[in-house]
Structure 1
C-alpha cells in the first residue's frame, strides 16, 4: 500500500504527526509514502529520513491533484493495490489503516472510502456531501440568511444521516481518500485542470460513473486540523472560484441530469436503510 502527502510550507510538527500516523500503522501490508513538496524551496527535505519514504521536490507547484498524480503514477510501478491521499494535517490511530484495508478487501466494488473525521477536540466534521449545485459552492457562501444556509447544510452535508452508519456518499473529502488503484487505472487520476478545491468531487463522481461505490466508514476515526483557508485568503478564494467554474463548465451548471440521478439514488438508498 502506498500513500502521498502534498507539502507546501507546512508546520513541521503537525506534518510529522501525519507522516508517523501512516508509517506506524499496525498492518502486515508493506507501506510506502511519497512526500510531494510543492513549496518554492526544499527546506522540508530533511524532515524525515526513512527507507519507506520518498521525498520529491516539485517547486513548479502544479496544484494539489497534479502533485498527487505524480505519487500515484509511481505507486503503479510498485504494483500498489491501494493508495491513500492524505492531508498534511491529518493523524490517526495505529489500527485505522488495517481496518480500512479489511473493509476494502471485503468490498471489491468500493473505489474510495473515508472514515469519520473529527477535529482534535473531538467535534465532528461534516465532510460527507452530495454532488454540489452552483448554489452549494458559490451562492451558499455569500447568502446572508444564516437559517437558510443551515437548512441547506443539513441536506448538502448530509447532517440528517447522523454520521453514525456506513453509507454511500457522492462526494467525500479530499483530506483522506483511501483509493483502490485498479479503479484509478480504469477511470483515471485527478483532473489537473483543477489547481485546488473540488478535485476530490470530480474524482468521486468519475468513480461512481465507473461503477464503483464511494463510501463513508465511521467504524474508525481520523483527526483533522481543519481550517477553511479559502475563507481567510483572497488568493485561495479566487482559486476556489476558478475551480468551481472549471468543475461546472465540465459537468454542467444548473442543468446536470447525472448529478440529480446520483444524488437521488444515494438519498433513496439511505432512506431505505433507515
Structure 2
C-alpha cells in the first residue's frame, strides 16, 4: 500500500524565486511523500503555474483573486478535501512560500505532535535570513501587553510588555505557547475543521494569533517544537508595499481585540483602540517611507 502523502498548503501571490526554493526543500523535509497545493491569490509572475506544470506533486489552485491569507488557506484545504488523493488523515502543513524547510523538519513536527496528543498546532524554530531566531511562539496579546508592545516596541525593544508578548527567551524548549507563527505550522485536520479553519475576516496578519486562541479555547494545545527548523524571509512581502501592509496589520490588531471585548460597556475601550491603532499605522507608514 502506498504511504499517504503529507499535504502542504501554501498561499501564493507572485512569490517569484522563493517558490522553487520552498518546493525543493520539501523533498528532504520528510521521509514521507508530500503533496503541495498552491492556493493562488492572483499571481501575475507565472511562478505558481510553472511550478505546478513542472512538478508532479504540486497543484495550482486559483482562489479567484486576492482573498487574503486565511481565506486562501481555507480554500486550499477545502479543495484538498474534495479530491481523491491519498493524503495523511491526521496532519497537514501550512506554510508561506518564502519558507525553506530543513531536512527532516516535517518529520520532527509530526513526531512532536505525537508526543503531545492534545496539540492541534505545532510550530518549528524559525531562523531569519541573518540566522537569528524569530520569536514565533508567543503569548496571546491582551490589552496590557498589546498596548505596551505597540507603544514601546520600536523605541525600547527590551521593554517588559514586549518581552512578555514575544515570550522569546525560551526558544530552545519544547513547550506550549499562546500562539504560533502561521508562516509554518503542522495542524490536525480534525481540530482545524472543528473550529472552522481561519477566520476569513482577517485579510492579512493576526489570523494566526486568532487561530491559536480559538484552538486553545476549544481545548487544544499550541506546541513549539525547536527540533524542527526552517528558514523564513520574514517581512519581505510587507517591506515592498508598506502603505497597504502596515494599515492591514493594525486593522487586524483592532479586530482581534474588538472581538474579545464585544460588550457595550467596553465601547470606550474599542474606540480608544481604533483611534490609537489608526494613528500608529500612519506613523509606521511614515517611518517606513523614510527608510
TM-score greater than 0.5 by the shorter chain: yes
Deviation at 1:42, TM superposition (A): 6.6
Within the alignment, does 1:66 sit opposite 2:66 as a pair?
no
Two-structure CA RMSD over aligned residues (Å): 2.6
Corresponding residue for 1:272?
none
Q: Distance between the aligned counterparts of 1:9 and 1:32, measured in 2?
A: 20
Distance 1:96 1:40, change over 3 A: closer
CA distances 1:187-221 after superposition (whole Å, capped 9, x unpaired) = 22000011010011111111111111100111121
Which of the numbers 28, 44, 47 marks the counterpart of 2:51?
A: 47
1:183 match: 191
Contact kept, 8 Å, 2:124 with 2:185, in 1: the verdict is no
- Gapped regions of structure 2 (runs ≥ 5): 1-5, 267-291
Which whole-Å CA distance do the structure 2 matches of 1:179 and 1:145 have between them? 32
Check 1:189–1:95 CA distance in 2 against 1; reply closer, same or farther (3 A cut): same
Q: Which moved more, 1:32-41 or 1:208-217?
A: 32-41
In structure 1, list runs of 5 or more residues that go unmatched.
Answer: 257-274
Work out the CA distance in 2 between the residues paired with 1:105 and 1:150.
36
Q: What SS is found at the alignment partner of 1:11?
A: coil
1:196 corresponds in structure 2 to 204
Is the partner of 2:222 in helix, strand or coil? strand
CA contact (8 A) 1:140 1:149 kept: no
Q: For this pair of structures, how many residues does the alignment match?
A: 253
The correspondence for 1:215, drawn from 201, 204, 223, is 223
Take 2:258 and 2:93, find their aligned partners in 1: how far apart are those partners?
A: 28
TM-score where L is the length of structure 1:
0.83
Question: Which has the higher mean CA deviation after the structures are superposed, 223-232 or 52-61?
Answer: 223-232
Residue 86 of structure 1 corresponds to 95
Aligned to 1:268: none
Matches within 5 A, 1:229-268: 230=238, 233-252=242-261
Aligned partner of 1:6 in structure 2 is: 11
CA distance in 2, matches of 1:118, 1:42: 27
Equivalent-residue separation in structure 1 for 2:144 and 2:31 (angstroms): 42
Query: Take 2:146 and 2:24, find their aligned partners in 1: how far apart are those partners?
Result: 34
Q: Answer yes or no: is the 8 Å Cα contact 2:16–2:45 preserved in 1.
A: no
- The alignment status of 1:16 with 2:20, answered yes or no, reads yes
Larger deviation: 16-25 or 144-153? 144-153
Runs (4+) of structure 1 moved beyond 6 Å?
253-256
Give the 3 Å change call, closer, same or farther, for CA 160–43 of structure 1 in structure 2: closer
Aligned pair 1:116/2:120, yes or no? no
In the TM superposition, residue 253 of structure 1 has moved relative to its aligned partner by 7.7
User: What is the CA-CA distance between 1:143 and the residue it aligns to?
Assistant: 3.6
What is the match of residue 35 of structure 2?
A: 32
